[in-house]
Amino acid sequence: MGKPVRVLLVEDSERDAALLMLYLRRSGFEPTLLRVETGQEMKAELARTDWDVVISDFNLPRFNAQAALTTLLESGRRVPFIVLSGGMAEDVVGQIIKAGASHFILKHQMAQIVPVIERAMRARAEGGS
C-alpha cells in the first residue's frame, strides 16, 4: 500500500488529472484526488475536506492559479500550493511564488512532483506550510 495523499486539483483537463493520478500511484502514493475547475467548487471543497496539497494548472477557462491561490489563502487553510503548468513566463512564476505558492513545476517535468509533495507534506507536519 502506498503513502496516502489527499490532492485537491485545480484542472480543466480530465486527461491531465488521470495522468497525475497514474504518476502519483506509480511513484508510491495512494492518492485521493478531486478535480475542481472553478473558484466556487474549490471554496466548497476546502471547507469540506482537509487536503494535504493543492495542485493547480496555471490557466483554466474560468479560473487560474493566481485566483486559486487567493481562494486558498482566504480559506485560512495552511495547505501547500503547487502550480503545475505547461509553461509560464519567469516573472509570472516569481509573482505567484511571492504571493504564497509553494512551488512551480512544468508538466513535462512531472518527475519533480513527488519530492515536492513529500517536502510540502513534511513541512506541513512540522508546522510550516
Mean pLDDT (the chain) is: 89
Question: Which has the closest alpha carbon to 97: 129, 50, 62?
Answer: 129
The pLDDT tens digits of the residues spanning 77-86 come to 989 999 988 7
Average of per-residue pLDDT across 21-37: 94
pLDDT of residue 111: 83
* Domain spans in the chain, listed from the N-terminal domain onward: 3-122
CA distances 114 to 29, 41, 55, 63, 103, Å, are 9, 25, 12, 25, 12
Model confidence, pTM: 0.90
List Cβ neighbours of 78 (8 Å cut-off, separation of 6 or more).
Answer: 124, 129
Q: Which fold has domain 3-122?
A: Rossmann fold (3.40.50)
pLDDT class of 37 with cuts at 50, 70, 90:
very high
For cell 503548468, the residue is 85
